[in-house]
Amino acid sequence: MTMDLFEHSPPEPWAESLCEGAVVLRRFASVSGAELLAGIERVTAQAPFRQMRTPGGHIMSVAMTCCGDWGWVTDARGYRYQHQDPVSGDPWPAMPEVFRTLAVEAATKAGYDDFEPDSCLINRYSPGARMGLHQDKNEDDFGQPIVSVSLGAPAIFQFGGLRRGDRPQRVPLEHGDVVVWGGPARLRYHGVLTLKVADHPLTGACRYNLTFRRAR
């Protein structure tokens, strides 16, 4: 006879090291997934998802929006953080408290005790969307880590080295997984492979990614 106490217990989060300074916290956000999705809805009511243009003139396949004091934007003038949403001209929506709490707890669990995020980039991946290898280097203080929360459909995260040519690790990410990188890993290249068709109970075919950083 099976012990259904075990079958119905929430899975315990566990950690996997990617390299010095980087860790995946598996299922870390799973219990608060629905609250985080409600937070996304609150933000996107004020700052809807949009597909931004790169300086090279291409439209990104990932739809983005932001919340917090600073939002990351890209257009023909380049990459930068802005206090205002360029679509509305209004300041970005406030960062939901459940977002901040999760980000700080994840950073602490990963060994970064003084994380004070002032920016959250929200990425929506539909099937076929991808994110090319890049570095997060528009921030002023590389002493603060990056915290990346996966929600909904699964994806393959590419986690590379400090040079573009370094072969990336392929890291499967599921709903509730949180990747934290900082210190010697802060400027590692990373990206996301093309999202496959999937069906998640909370998000359907979409994957959402919350990326927390200290911009200024």
Partner DNA sequence: AAGTTTCA
Partner DNA sequence: CAGC
- Binding site, annotated residues: 134, 136, 190
Minimum distance of DNA from residue 86's CB (angstroms): 15
8 is an interface residue for DNA by CB under 7 A: no
| 32 versus 131: smaller Cβ distance to DNA | 131
Identify the burial level of 201 via C-beta atoms within 10 angstroms of its C-beta, where 0-12 means exposed, 13-18 middle and 19 or more buried. exposed
Which residues in 83-196 belong to E strands, given as ranges? Answer: 119-125, 131-134, 146-152, 155-159, 169-173, 178-181, 190-192
Question: For DNA, which stretch binds (CB under 7 A), given 39-47, 71-79, 93-101, 102-110?
Answer: 71-79
- Crossing angle for the helix pair 33-46 and 97-109, to the nearest 10 degrees: 130
Binding site residue list for Fe cation = 134, 136, 190
Question: For DNA, which stretch binds (CB under 7 A), given 106-114, 124-132, 176-184, 198-206?
Answer: 124-132
What type of residue is 73?
V
| 133 versus 205: smaller Cβ distance to DNA | 133
Distance CA 144, CA 154 (A): 27
Q: Which spans of this chain sit near DNA (rule: CB under 7 A)?
A: 54-56, 58, 60-62, 72, 74, 77-79, 130-134, 136, 138, 156, 191, 193-194
